[in-house]
């Protein structure tokens, strides 16, 4: 039966073996290739990490409540605790608005100096970002027409529980959106030089 697409079935005694067999089949067919990360990348990914998210949730510092005083406070507490973390990961919401990959100049006026302090103290830096979220498409030179659509053709949007933050999802299958996102991501990497991008979206 010709379906127009390639199908690959993987059958195994359990789910995990079936998934492993599926990926082995894709590798064998040349559809995917085995990643060859550098020793530095592996070391960073496996480094003991402190992520701010748990503390942010505990201290009500999520969303637009993440500020410089909190970051300094939690960092000082981490150092005093004796915990041997090698990577300090800053979670939601260091960005001024979702989508621009730039820190909030009002809540985090000395953010880059804080990152420099982490580095000088010997920490690697992790930063969370939901690359596809976008609060203000026009700030990226896009419109709501460039956002992911619902079945009725209207832009899909999410209103966060605080009822103040609304964001769209970038439709990165559009060449223009892909170009904008690539440009923003390159500027983000060059400016902040994170060792790890935390992307759990």
Distant-in-sequence, close-in-space partners of 201: CB < 8 Å, separation ≥ 6: 130, 131, 132, 133
Say whether pTM exceeds 0.85.
no
195, burial (CB in 10 Å: exposed 0-12, middle 13-18, buried 19+): buried
Per-residue pLDDT tens over the stretch 14-36: 999 999 999 999 999 898 998 89
Q: What percentage of the chain exceeds 90 in pLDDT? A: 82
CA dist., res. 34 & res. 53, Å (int): 31
């Amino acid at each position: 039966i010709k379906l127009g697409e390639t199908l690959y079935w993987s059958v195994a005694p359990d789910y995990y073996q079936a998934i492993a067999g599926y990926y082995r089949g894709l590798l064998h067919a040349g559809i995917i290739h085995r990643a060859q990360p550098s020793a530095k990348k592996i070391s960073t990914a496996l480094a003991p990490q402190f992520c701010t998210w748990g503390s942010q949730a505990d201290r009500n510092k999520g969303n637009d409540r993440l500020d410089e005083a909190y970051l300094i406070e939690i960092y000082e507490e981490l150092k005093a605790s004796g915990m041997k973390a090698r990577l300090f990961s800053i979670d939601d919401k260091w960005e001024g608005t979702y989508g621009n990959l730039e820190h909030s100049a009002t809540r985090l006026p000395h953010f880059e100096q804080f990152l420099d302090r982490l580095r000088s103290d010997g920490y690697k830096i992790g930063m969370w970002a939901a690359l596809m979220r976008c609060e203000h498409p026009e700030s990226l030179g896009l419109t709501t027409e460039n956002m992911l659509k619902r079945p009725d053709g209207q832009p899909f949007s999410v209103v966060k529980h605080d009822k103040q933050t609304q964001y769209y999802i970038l439709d990165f299958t559009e060449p223009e959106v892909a170009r904008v996102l690539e440009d923003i991501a390159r500027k983000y990497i060059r400016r902040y030089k994170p060792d790890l991008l935390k992307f759990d979206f």
